[in-house]
Structure 1
Amino acid sequence: MSTINDVLTQQEKHHILAAPSKKVPAAATSGTTTFNLYNSTTSNTVYAYVTGLAINNNSSTYLLEADGVTPYYPANPSSNGSALAQNCSIPLGAVGSTTSITIPYTAGGRLWFSIGSQITFLLNPSSTGAQIVEPSSTNTSDPNYNLTWDFCEFSYSSAEIYVNISYVDFVCIPIGLELTNTSGTVTHVSGLPANGLETIANNLVAQNNSDGAGWDQLIVKKSDGSTLRVLNPTGGIDFNPSLFQNYWSSYVNQVWDQYVSTPLVVDTQYTWGTVSGNTSNDRSSITFNGIGSFTKPSAADIFGQNTGPFAAQATNTAELLNVGARLSTAINRSTLLTDANQPDGETVASYYTNSITNHYARIVHAANLDGKGYCFPYDDVGNSNEVDQSGYLSDPSPQTLLVTVGGGNASAKLRARLAAAERPRPRFVRRSLAPMVPRIEEIEEQLPEYRDLEKGEYEHPKLMNEIARPEDPASRLTLPPALERTFGKYLEVSSGIPFHRTRVELIRSRKFAIHHSMYAYVRPWN
């Protein structure tokens, strides 16, 4: 039986969206919301596409038709690579115009954009219905490989809407988000300016000129020599397995040496509390007593955060993945040598200050006018008093979502407005690994609301979210006994899952909601 977790893993690895055999429970009522798509590119030929799983139609795969209103549920085809039977290219108007589309309750949603050419989506047959074959950024045989396209992710249910921009796979088209709720409150993620892609490419070249590590190999060029997209380091390794092979070796060796006598303290930011570990005398692993050990990771393990020592283990999976998320994140940000208290002792200003660091993440964050956006899978881990870096928007009562394609939302004026209004994220919201939540059938009567994050409902193959522990133990949130018993169970995760792990976030002091994230990592899986 396939779950949302299973089908989203397949989507990330093979670029195929399929309906799960274990269906997402339909909402008691159906609903729609409006996405306003603003063309801020320099082209009058821009197309939008919507793909996802229809919550109120048996979790079926769907695309929106060209009218931007009608869901198209493709019939199960007879063979792989079959064409769509409907036109699902939604034309945006001329530069400066806004096109409105209607979104039904959706799990695993993606809003795609292409400039200059239409995207080709194909269909494969399966036992649960038609599978949607989506574009790949690393498969040179993909019909969309040489086209200019990108996407943002969303989920929408009776509980809330969630949307994010992600750079975990690659960077291509600037996308900005502005969410207005029914009370008129506006939240915003600026995204990249119009020249953001070239800025990132130029800075990667400069970084490579400085250290010779191969950062320029992440740049994919068009035939005219301009930049088509910039891949994340994992995508670069897909093309060249020797890329960054020894890049992290000296840094990792220093980290493992440092914690032989000094404890490495990790706040799980969940019911496990704070745990500590030390390096073994032979420097082979860092062990957290009663939890597990982490051997020295390779470059691919560090950038991907789901293989080697950071992969799911046979026992104690949930807590071990939680600690691993914080360990691998600190390595990407190069803060483990300066901060033995993870992640509570860190500040955003301390990220990426070592010469050996994830310069892709550093450069992409710097290019975004508000500094926000997923640049690696656990980019939402951090000190609760610091501004969240992952760049997502959510609201239980959405009215409209403005999605700007081309960089128009990333303006100096908006930057100033955001800086003036910026507040630390609520301490009761955390996005990192936690124990497995009850199965939906067990909690529907106990939880009045439920939601997903980034792409999927209830379960997600990236990681689980959790509540940050308040400063005062007496003020900590408590769950009903039935939920406490269930939350002790470990997360059931296959060791073959390539990147994400199930993410769950319990939020709001009055209501608990299930809330997932793509991968933010949507790695180029070929």
Structure 2
Amino acid sequence: MPSFKNIIAKLRSRSTRAASANDDRAPTANGNAHNSAPAPVPAAQPNQQVMASATTPTLTITLKNASNSSSVYVYVTGQALDNGNRAMFLQSDGRTIYYPASPNTVGSPLVQDVAIPLGAPGTIKNITIPRIAGGRVWFSIGAKLKFALNPGPGVVEPSVSNPTDPNINIDWGFCEFTYNSDQLFANISCVDFISIPVALTLTSTSGNIQSVPGLPANGLVTIINGLKQQAASDGRPWDKLVYPATGTPLRVLSPLKLLDSSANAWDGYWDAYVNQVWSRFSSTDMTVNTQAAAGNLTGRVSNGQLSLGSAGTFNKPNARDIWTCSEGPFATGDNAARNAVIPRLAAAFNRSTLLNATQFPNGSAPADYYKNATTNHYSRLVHQTMKDGRGYAFPYDDVVPDGGADVAGTVFDGSPANWTIAIGGS
């Protein structure tokens, strides 16, 4: 069974990940209004021991310029857990916290400088963060990012799908984290897009080291070439995920993000595969290992719906449902068993393992993922290109079999001493 820390980490990510499938929340003229609350804490279970605070009020992050540019800027955003979950930035000195006031108008500018310059290639700089939920460390190369404020305050974040966003032609990316009283949890996020290589290293107070090496320096080009080959092979718009379409590429969008500009781009893509799955499980039992209180749920397709015991029935998903992992049959609600099935079923679709096993996720290993011609080829290429195969490439990419190795590129520890972020891939 997974360790207690693994369970905590997965609970944290699953409480927020489906939302990030549509991460361009409430778009404004300048980007995304981001005023969501911190991820909910799982309810205590009977006889569960309450953990004493293991972390210090602040944590040192070491930033390394591993690019070949002297114009690299870092930004830290999130909700301050020790100050009423207020929206916050770190200022340019990497220590002082900026709590923006609520403005009167949409798209108001920040009143503090929040761009932390990294200096020449090879430069190392330490910054200090408080306990933060819903945190992001943003980075840009060649130009500073532009954030703004809406009444609330709501932080208007950079967007990769809003063509009028002032950051649309800047090379930027981010990694995600939460630093609370229990632990630091961080991951390389590629759910919406992939761009600048980033590597994470987490060192605990006991000297334990976890690392995610991320993309190699030429990784984006490798992914782009793979997408072009896939588009030539199946005639689907994988090559349209590259932005911009001409000139020097800045990023590769996820399949979901293409729907923002081309609503019918993926029409019918998953239909044949879904029909095969429904046909197979009309006469064969499917078992979903919920890895939760609901245990293993077994069922079959009947009258056009997949029935899985206490989790209820599931209609056939379409392409948008599969890319988002949060719409149609994958929309969560009040049924805990259903909410536990959704990540595992959505992951099995994205990884195209449903015709090769009868238990999910325990019937498959990473070597079995993405083998069908119809699959999430964006995720396939991201994992294939990462130095160690790990990266968060779709909303439930943290789903693993019991005892299985992490494939999502996460680091976490209850007693973190230092978190190092290397930007640029060198």
Q: Which category describes the TM-score, using the shorter chain as reference length?
A: 0.7 to 0.9
Residue identity matched to 1:78: N
Distance 2:423 2:95 in 1: 20
Secondary structure of 2:339's aligned partner: helix
Is residue 256 from structure 1 mapped to residue 271 from structure 2 by the alignment?
no
- Who is 2:323 aligned against? 303
Distance 1:261 1:351 in 2: 23
- Who is 2:12 aligned against? none
Deviation at 1:403, TM superposition (A): 0.2
Is residue 217 from structure 1 mapped to residue 240 from structure 2 by the alignment?
yes
Deviations 1:398-454 (A, max 9, x none): 11111000013xxxxxxxxxxxxxxxxxxxxxxxxxxxxxxxxxxxxxxxxxxxxxx
Distance 1:22 1:164 in 2: 15
Residue identity matched to 1:13: R
Distance 2:245 2:367 in 1: 35
- Who is 2:225 aligned against? 202
Deviation at 1:19, TM superposition (A): 6.8
Deviation at 1:388, TM superposition (A): 1.4
- Who is 2:34 aligned against? 17
Deviation at 1:312, TM superposition (A): 2.5
Q: After alignment, is 397-406 or 376-385 more displaced?
A: 376-385
Which of residues 91, 99, 113 in structure 2 aligns to 1:65? 91
The structure where strand makes up a greater share of residues is 2
**C-alpha spacing 1:386/1:307, structure 2 compared with 1 (3 Å):** same
Distance 1:307 1:18 in 2: 21
Secondary structure of 2:391's aligned partner: coil
Distance 1:22 1:359 in 2: 29
Distance 1:387 1:100 in 2: 31
Secondary structure of 1:13's aligned partner: coil
Is residue 39 from structure 1 mapped to residue 65 from structure 2 by the alignment?
yes
Secondary structure of 2:78's aligned partner: strand
Q: List runs of 5+ in structure 2 lacking aligned partners.
A: 1-14, 27-31, 42-52
Secondary structure of 1:49's aligned partner: strand
Q: TM-score, normalised by structure 2?
A: 0.88
- Who is 2:113 aligned against? 87
Q: List runs of 5+ in structure 1 lacking aligned partners.
A: 409-526
How well do the aligned residues superpose, as a CA RMSD in angstroms? 2.3
Residue identity matched to 2:275: N
Which of residues 342, 345, 350 in structure 2 aligns to 1:327? 345
Distance 1:55 1:259 in 2: 46
Distance 1:61 1:290 in 2: 39
Deviation at 1:54, TM superposition (A): 1.1
Is residue 352 from structure 1 mapped to residue 370 from structure 2 by the alignment?
yes
Which of residues 369, 382, 406 in structure 1 aligns to 2:424? 406
Q: Matches of residues 451-462 of structure 1 in structure 2 within 5 Å? A: none
Distance 1:28 1:34 in 2: 15
**C-alpha spacing 1:20/1:237, structure 2 compared with 1 (3 Å):** closer
Q: TM-score, normalised by structure 1?
A: 0.72
Is residue 48 from structure 1 mapped to residue 74 from structure 2 by the alignment?
yes
Alignment size in residue pairs: 394
Deviations 1:106-147 (A, max 9, x none): 111110000000000101112xxx221110110001111111
Deviation at 1:385, TM superposition (A): 3.3
**C-alpha spacing 1:19/1:340, structure 2 compared with 1 (3 Å):** closer
